[in-house]
Amino acid sequence: MTSSAAEPIRVGLLGYGVAGAVFHAPLLAADPRFRLDAVVTASPKRQQQVRVEHPDTRVLDTPEQLWASAGELDLAVVATPNRSHVELTSAALDVGLGVVVDKPFTPTAAEGRNLIERARSAGRLLTVFQNRRWDNDFRTLRALLERDALGAVRRFESRFERWVPTAKPGWRERGGPDEAGGVLNDLGSHLVDQALTLFGPVASVYAESDRRRSGVEVDDDTFVALTHVNGVRSHLWTSKVAPRFGPRMRVLGDRAAFTKHGLDPQEAALRAGGRPGDLGWGEEPGELWGTLGAGDEVETIASDPGCYEVFYAELADAVRAGTPPPVDPEESVAGLVVLEAARRSAESGEVQHLR
């Protein structure tokens, strides 16, 4: 079903872990065009959390309960462990719902293409929550590139690093390709998506991937080098074993370089109970702003505020007016192709050529 402009878009959220509780539910609650109608979680602790944080929202134990009331909904948001994305997205499409899928879209590119075809055949909306396109650093860099402030870009360096020296329990640290765990799938999905969005398709991929901590079954320290078709080289790092962090971004052009430290503040704000619309939302202190320049001639560049809420604003327009979704799922499949090539490269030690 499709809501009219006068009615809220009714949403069923599957999963209430970090993705569901920290990102999707708060962002949906902050936009009056949406109504968080139901949350599916089997955990009694998380069920109680939903009741406290969203008292007007139904709490369901199983996806089947949500599908049974699909006629009362407009949209499903799949924010469950990666291994379940395909099954739940397929089921949501089958009962006539549009779907938002958290990243990584699917464990494999082939599965992603299949879901896109199913959504197309059913005439249903399908999009992927690549929220880091609305990070402050990415938005700032994109604006600099649009005004040609760096000249021709030669190398893009980007990092998502953490310091988690002891592995935590949970599916993200467990092995098996169906789990789609590990830092390459998790944080690497963002890095690759940002690189492709900024610099276009990739001709070749080289990667180094390791398991540094005792007890982990998946990568926790990975480097990926991309050569884009246009000649730009992207060097991407993602790690859970970085005692000290490198620059979040360093971008080298033939006239200037842009360097930025520190993470976008929105995730920390959401975890602390903040919401879009709060005073200072998405803004960061001046000491974390990046710099632009060459040699001794360097200027500070104010960061554009981060704005995750734009994803759902554009989604509301897509549901109501049929405009393009905030993220084309084909773009997420292109990222999955790169991630698969990176895994092959890390295993073989050889460059993988895509073009």
pLDDT reading at 351 higher than 50? yes
pLDDT for position 181: 87
pLDDT for position 1: 44
User: What is the distance between the alpha carbons of residues 78 and 98, in angstroms, rounded to a whole number?
Assistant: 11
pLDDT reading at 74 higher than 70? yes
pLDDT reading at 318 higher than 80? yes
Residue found by looking up tokens 């320290």 in the block: 221
Residues whose CB falls within 8 Å of the CB of residue 21, separated by 6 or more in sequence, listed in order = 46, 49, 53
Segment 74-89 shows an average pLDDT of: 97
Q: Please, what is the average pLDDT of the chain?
A: 96
Segment 85-92 shows an average pLDDT of: 98
For each of the domains in the chain, give its residue range(s) and CATH number, in order of start: 9-129 (3.40.50.720), 132-306+337-353 (3.30.360.10)
- DSSP letters for 135-181: SHHHHHHHHHHHTTSS-SEEEEEEEEE-B--SPPSSGGG--SGGG--
User: What is the distance between the alpha carbons of residues 267 and 282, in angstroms, rounded to a whole number?
Assistant: 9
Question: What are the tens digits of pLDDT across the range 103-135?
Answer: 999 999 999 999 999 999 999 999 999 999 999
- DSSP letters for 216-271: --S-SEEEEEEEETTS-EEEEEEESB-SS---SEEEEESS-EEEE-S--SHHHHHH
Q: Going along the chain, which residue ranges are E strands?
A: 9-14, 34-40, 58-60, 75-78, 98-102, 126-129, 153-161, 202-210, 221-228, 233-239, 249-253, 257-260, 290-294, 297-301, 352-353
pLDDT for position 236: 98
Segment 257-268 shows an average pLDDT of: 97
pLDDT reading at 233 higher than 80? yes
pLDDT reading at 168 higher than 90? no
User: What is the distance between the alpha carbons of residues 332 and 194, in angstroms, rounded to a whole number?
Assistant: 11
State the pLDDT confidence band at 6, using cuts at 50, 70 and 90. Answer: confident
State the pLDDT confidence band at 180, using cuts at 50, 70 and 90. Answer: confident
CB 128 within 8 A of CB 105: yes
Tell me, what amino acid is at 57?
A: T
State the pLDDT confidence band at 87, using cuts at 50, 70 and 90. Answer: very high
Query: Token pair for residue 121?
Result: 């055949």
pLDDT reading at 177 higher than 90? no
State the pLDDT confidence band at 173, using cuts at 50, 70 and 90. Answer: confident
Segment 42-48 shows an average pLDDT of: 97
pLDDT for position 5: 65
